[in-house]
A = this chain, B = another copy of it.
């Protein structure tokens, strides 16, 4: 089954916004076993929209459309799709009722244009919008099924989750059920992961695997299709277990879990806390950790010691250490971690010091050199030295992630 995605809007063609809707829908369709043949974006011009949906419907059996369903005169998608299908346009009464109730609550005044966004082509089937006003809708166009959704990503995703995804599954040829899981991997490159997982799905009927790099992580998406839901799920469980075994602890989580969230749970479940001491990352590790809701139960605090004199004054690094080994050294990072742990009184501490660039590198310590140390209870300590590739932003991000990964390894050891 072939699908196409059509995204509509002047703002796309002027490069004012990145088309995340097309990527979201393509990824969802892939997971449903539906191949996307073409993705097209055009401006808010009626004739272009008509052409875009007609071309797509001539090539594919499912066409997903996003954008142009709002209240302004620029929003022409309903009219264009109706024209392409040779039907009229009418107010959709449920959506109108919800809009009027919403305006009343908010004290907004309806304008004549307000009604534009609750219109649908005659004979179209409604896909209700639980996150906004403009309803999604579905109709037959040529031999294809066309599904239109608003361009606001939150609304598009709501309609997709509420009814559109189920509808596409229904339309999909065959009766396969789909079981899927996304493993989150940090600390191994895509080609290394590919190598470790070689042959994983070869003997598993209906199983596929694909990768998505979300720097600095890699998402491994496992999908199993089978007419029997239980069979698909059992196969997926075995497959995911085998993948985790092969990937080891670098497969740290699944689904929407961030590395920081997994680390936070590991700490919280042990009644432990962590403190950070950051030099080259300047607060980034703390920012990532405290991005997790409820971090206050396990995140104690931290010190950003960017300059050498702050490492001495705020972190008790010995001046002799700086003289003999420098600020980017095993000795310095261990003193930073031990000191911040003692000062803040946390169960664990992690420290980061390095050369993020573009300046500051030398032959002995080139840009990208980073030391990470973890210090914990009962004299536990770990240290790693890295040489990260990339520009400043990448070096800093890699340093913060490796610090979290090293800490997770020690906490769960």
Instruction: Name A's B-contacting residues (CB within 8 A).
Output: 12-20, 22-30, 35-43, 48, 52, 210-213, 276, 278, 280-287, 289-291, 293-296, 299-307, 310, 313-314, 343-344, 357-359, 392-393, 396
Beta-carbon contact of B307 and A16 below 8 Å: no
Contact of A290 among B39, B281, B293, B358 (CB under 8 A): B281
| Listed A/B pairs (29) with beta-carbon separation below 8 Å | A13-B26, A13-B35, A13-B38, A14-B210, A15-B22, A15-B23, A15-B26, A15-B27, A16-B27, A17-B212, A17-B213, A19-B39, A37-B48, A39-B41, A39-B42, A282-B286, A282-B290, A282-B295, A283-B302, A283-B304, A286-B286, A290-B396, A293-B357, A294-B359, A299-B306, A301-B306, A302-B304, A302-B306, A303-B303
Q: Which 3 A-B pairs have the closest CB atoms?
A: A282-B290, A283-B286, A15-B27
Beta-carbon contact of A304 and B306 below 8 Å: no
Beta-carbon contact of A304 and B307 below 8 Å: no
**Interface of chain A, helix or strand or loop or mixed?**
mixed
Contact of A301 among B286, B294, B295, B310 (CB under 8 A): B310
Beta-carbon contact of B276 and A314 below 8 Å: no
A18-B17 contact in complex given A301-B314, A310-B301, C-beta closer than 8 Å: no
Give min CB distance, A111 to chain B, whole Å: 16
Give min CB distance, A57 to chain B, whole Å: 16
Residue of B nearest to A45 (CB): B37
Residue of B nearest to A27 (CB): B15
Q: Within 8 Å CB of A278, what residues of B?
A: 283, 286
Contact of A310 among B29, B39, B300 (CB under 8 A): B300
Beta-carbon contact of B304 and A286 below 8 Å: yes
Give min CB distance, A134 to chain B, whole Å: 19
Q: Within 8 Å CB of A211, what residues of B?
A: 16
Beta-carbon contact of B282 and A291 below 8 Å: yes
Contact of A291 among B18, B276, B314, B396 (CB under 8 A): B396
Beta-carbon contact of A392 and B293 below 8 Å: yes
Q: Within 8 Å CB of A48, what residues of B?
A: 37-38
Beta-carbon contact of B28 and A24 below 8 Å: no
Residue of B nearest to A16 (CB): B212
Residue of B nearest to A35 (CB): B13
CA distance A295 to B286 in the complex (A): 18
Q: Within 8 Å CB of A29, what residues of B?
A: 15
Contact of A13 among B20, B37, B284, B344 (CB under 8 A): B37
Q: Within 8 Å CB of A284, what residues of B?
A: 283, 286-287, 290
Residue of B nearest to A28 (CB): B15
CA distance A367 to B392 in the complex (A): 33
Beta-carbon contact of B359 and A293 below 8 Å: yes
Give min CB distance, A349 to chain B, whole Å: 12
Beta-carbon contact of B301 and A305 below 8 Å: yes
Q: Within 8 Å CB of A286, what residues of B?
A: 278, 282-284, 286-287, 304
Residue of B nearest to A314 (CB): B301
